[in-house]
Structure 1
Amino acid sequence: MNKIAKALTIAGSDSGGGAGILADIKTFQELEVFGMSAITAITAQNTLGVQGVYPLSVEAVQQQIKSIGEDIGTDALKTGMLFSSEIIQVVAEQIKHYQWRNVVVDPVMIAKGGASLLQREAIEALKKDLLPLATVITPNIPEAELLTGITIKRLADRQKAAQYLWDLGVAHVVIKGGHGEGELVDLLFDGKEFTEYRSERIQTKNTHGTGCTFAAAVTAELAKGREVKEAVQVAKDFIQAAVENQIEVGHGHGPTNHWAYRREKMKKHR
């Protein structure tokens, strides 16, 4: 029997289906990884915005993770919306307790519509407790600015911010370029060298959940045993296909197309 690659997402749910836990599980499935979840908060949201955020208790988050750790285990995990410093601390404790590796941190702070998804005081807990455990962190430009205090306008600013985050103990830093201008460039820093992943920028409003999906794809590939550089490349290709092959859902910022990458691969192999 072939070993099944397993991935765990610790994040908030999105009732609209475009981001958070739902985007993660869809991505894991499309990349042929067995997906599991520990929900940190329930959000009432759709393509028009976030209408409500209802965090779960610290005990509920802890018990979900323990249920996975004591039975199934995981080959990789990602964190998304963690909401509070207390949840961040218990997540970090559980990662250390089970000695889990391949930890991808997507520092979810602000929803696409501008709603805050992380309490201000939780930022320090994220930096102190969770980032030293991270194999990869995947902030977009606004998130990188909040984490580092560095205003990012040019590629050199992103390099400076990546160095700052690496100094906090993160093994690999990916600062995404979706909020930049011109050609879309995602920047990876491993402590020694910078790697640029370039792609055409697609003009569309249907980008809800791109950050969650990208980080989930990295997580899935790490679970399957890929090195970080390869995992980031697959994630880049996955999200590019998901944005290029648009689907129309809702009346605002619509979700990405999670099945596009698989369909493109199937076409190439015909």
Structure 2
Amino acid sequence: MAQVTLGNSEFDRDTAVVRRAPGRYDAQLSAGWTIIRAVNGGYLLALMGRALGDALPHPDPFSVTAHYLTASVPGPATLRTEVVRTGRTMSTGTATLVQTAPDGTEVERMRVLASYGDLAALRDDVRTSAKPPELPPYEHCLGTDTAPDGGSAIPGSTAIADRLDIRLDPATSGWAIGAPSGKGEMRGWFGLADGRDPDPLSLLLTVDAMPPTAFDLGLSGWVPTVELTCHIRCRPAPGPLRVAVTTRNLAGGFLEEDAEVWDSADRLVAQSRQLARAPLGG
């Protein structure tokens, strides 16, 4: 039996998994990363990434795709991994997360397909037209302690908000005072509340931890993820991250969210796209 963890921050403790046998890990889904009653999808992705990083011979997630089948709840969970292929520079594996229902039946919550490699071994040439989001200084952006009238910049009482240090660009936070822009944009500074520096694993959380762009479209309520694909492009430098998320099309009760994550060295360190169900509220 071996515990797989990388540090002693709250994020590391709550994403720790215990290897019971080859390809099988036990985990405890923390209530600290919930939205309403469901466990956040980015936190779950990082948890799965932890197990896959132990099961595969390469250390870093390159591309991770998750399908969320049913909402995960705080409590015990079992993760099962399978090595699909190993090569010299990359390896591929799958993982599933299951929980036991009150009637004793096993319920699969999510399924992941991931490719891992070594970010430190990548070439340092960069040719890009992408640019970091333009944000006001951190101190001029809105956090949960600076929202109007002392309210929260994230509506509702969500445990995950206490574990994150998010400062939203005022231009994309009008929804917090009932004046959404209608553009479907969310931008801001991002970090973990305990000051833990970002790494490839925590980036899997970051891409799914900002308030939903649906809020900027004038909608409210839970926005459950159906599918999420994340690309980790390089190991992030220490310091706060900048995150920009956009939605261009809400139709048929579903919307996409495209996210970019930039580090303190102005490098694009993660990209993601997810399909989510639009909330019913308006």
TM (norm. structure 2) is 0.25
Report the structure number with the largest CA radius of gyration. Answer: 2
Q: Which has the higher contact order (CA 8 A, sep 6+)?
A: 1
